[in-house]
Amino acid sequence: MSEITNISNSRREFLKDAGRLAAASAFVAAAAPRMYAGQSNTIKVALVGCGGRGSGAASDAMSVKNGPVKLVAMGDVFENRLKSSYDNLKKMHGDKVDVPDDRKFVGFDAYKKAMDCLSPGDVAIFATPPGFRWVHFTYAIKKGLNVFMEKPVTVDGPTTRRMFKLAEEASAKNLKVGVGLMSRHSRALEELAKRIQDGEIGETILQRGYRMHGPIGFFCSPPKPAGISDLLYQVQRFHSFIWASGGNYSDFYIHVIDHLCWMKNDWPIKAQALGGRHYRQSPEGVTYVDQNLDTYSVEYTYPDGTKFFLDGRCIDGCKQIYNSAAHGSKGIAVVSKSGDCGMPSSIHKGQNPDKSNMIWESKVEPDQGNPYQNEWNDLVDAIRADKPYNEAERGAKASLVTSMGRMAAHTGVEITYDQILNSDHEMAPGLDKLTMDSPAPLLADANGRYPIPQPGIITKREY
């Protein structure tokens, strides 16, 4: 009863307050892009890059429970990939997929046409090969769009410098930007990072990360067949080409690198590494022409001298290891038990991660267990509540640190963070001007082979 009595504003006072509120609301609306478009409260989404990861991201976007999300446009350079993605997403999400033929776009300008179907405050998904990330992000900022972009977000120093500037521009426009480093949205790793930084394993003295398994994706490639241009072949098999993806090193290893840097709450300042090409023919005798090494072993160094060792391998028949750990002066943390961020994470006394030594193990609510869905829930929540949210700078740093280790292996010399950041070797300049008839950024020799790293011979750039 007292609550009702205390509400004693006169009608005049109420209208005065309402006028102030309306003026403030008008100012905010003018100063920032709409959080979501239309009176229906629906966030519209455009998918640029319709492969497996792009389709997965679009599916996660439409699975968010915090208000309606609808896919309204799609773009890719391969029509068959777009069609397959559309068919699968339509089957899964029904009316949430509203992409008629006139909002399906094919070509290197498809990203513009797809984003032109959105309104300020809607969301563009970028899941093309990472070399194109800065091109698409530039246009999204111009259009006032929120963004979700897959990792990595850069592949070399010049594009990283460009991405840092774009991140600032996005924040200045109050745009929300998510980056597909989903480990950062693992609730288990969130808890573990807090515990490590609160000192539960003592001072971190060593980190170890592993991703060792057989060839996957487009890790290795045979010579280009007839009927497809060099450019489209390299875009199609982007894991095989450093300009397009950072190669398998950047695309495969960035999650482990990123989440261990998170646990340390710092970024390495230098790397030295080794790697090798061991088996460069298929079992049928076809010679592979990609740029990847089969094995990588990298020693990263943090500012305080702490070491982080990363081992990667893509060879069939070898022992498979895919996990990460942090050693401290008081104990060891199992960061990812399996995969990029596989639960449960745990903390143990001593340096043996035995069950008998365990003092903590992560427990996550079932509806919080999928980090791919969590990252979309968090992004959409930030859009609807207008919270500050921009992962672009952090994503660029993770991408650069990953490239730093790759460059150290490919050159055979120690590479520092500042060296790669300030490098003048942009592997594929002019990607914003590509057409279907453009030459490829990488040229093959007379035998269809592409340039490969030559450690100790080519040391100022990677090939």
Amino acid at 448: G
Task: Tell me the C-alpha distance between 264 and 308, whole Å.
Answer: 10
The answer to whether residue 23 scores a pLDDT higher than 60 is no
Q: Which residue shows structure tokens 């339509």?
A: 90
Q: What letters, b where the CB count within 10 A reaches 16 and e where it falls short, cover 146-177?
A: bbbbbbbbbbbbbbbbbbbebbeebbebbbbb
The answer to whether residue 24 scores a pLDDT higher than 60 is no
* Average of per-residue pLDDT across 292-297: 98
Amino acid at 128: T
The answer to whether residue 428 scores a pLDDT higher than 90 is yes
Q: Which residue has the higher pLDDT, 200 or 4?
A: 200
pLDDT value for 429: 96
Q: Which residue has the higher pLDDT, 283 or 65?
A: 65
* Average of per-residue pLDDT across 48-63: 98
Mean pLDDT of the chain: 92
Helices (H) and strands (E) in the chain, counts: 14, 15
Q: Which residue shows structure tokens 């300008």?
A: 109
Q: What is the CA radius of gyration of the chain?
A: 24
pLDDT value for 30: 39
The answer to whether residue 1 scores a pLDDT higher than 80 is no
DSSP characters for 163-175? HHHHHHHHHHTT-
Provide the edge-to-edge strand list for the sheet that holds 331-336.
358-361, 346-349, 331-336, 321-328, 204-213, 307-314, 295-301, 270-276, 415-416
Picking from 10-24, 190-204, 257-271, 383-397, which range would have the lowest pLDDT averaged per residue?
A: 10-24
Task: Tell me the C-alpha distance between 316 and 293, whole Å.
Answer: 14
User: Tens digit of pLDDT for each residue in 314-365?
Assistant: 999 999 999 999 999 999 999 999 999 999 999 999 999 999 999 999 999 9
Amino acid at 380: V
CB-based burial of residue 194 (10 Å sphere; 0-12 exposed, 13-18 middle, 19+ buried)? exposed
Q: CA 355, 360, 361: angle at the middle one, nearest 5?
A: 75
Q: At what angle do helices 392-411 and 157-172 cross, to 10 degrees?
A: 180
Picking from 18-32, 53-67, 100-114, 156-170, which range would have the lowest pLDDT averaged per residue?
A: 18-32
Q: Which of the four pLDDT bands, split at 50, 70 and 90, describes residue 11?
A: very low
Strands 415-416 and 358-361 turn out to be unpaired
Q: Which of 389, 372, 373 is nearest to 35 (CA)?
A: 389
Residues in the chain: 463
Task: Tell me the C-alpha distance between 435 and 231, whole Å.
Answer: 10
Please, how many CA atoms are within 13 Å of residue 444, restricted to the half-sphere of its CB? 18
pLDDT value for 280: 86
pLDDT value for 283: 82
User: Tens digit of pLDDT for each residue in 215-248?
Assistant: 999 999 999 999 999 999 999 999 999 999 999 9
C-alpha 197 chain-centroid distance: 24
pLDDT value for 32: 44
* Average of per-residue pLDDT across 367-373: 96
The answer to whether residue 287 scores a pLDDT higher than 60 is yes
pLDDT value for 447: 86
DSSP characters for 19-41? HHHHHHHHHHHHHS--SS-STT-
pLDDT value for 19: 42
pLDDT value for 40: 64
Considering the entire predicted model, what is its pTM? 0.91
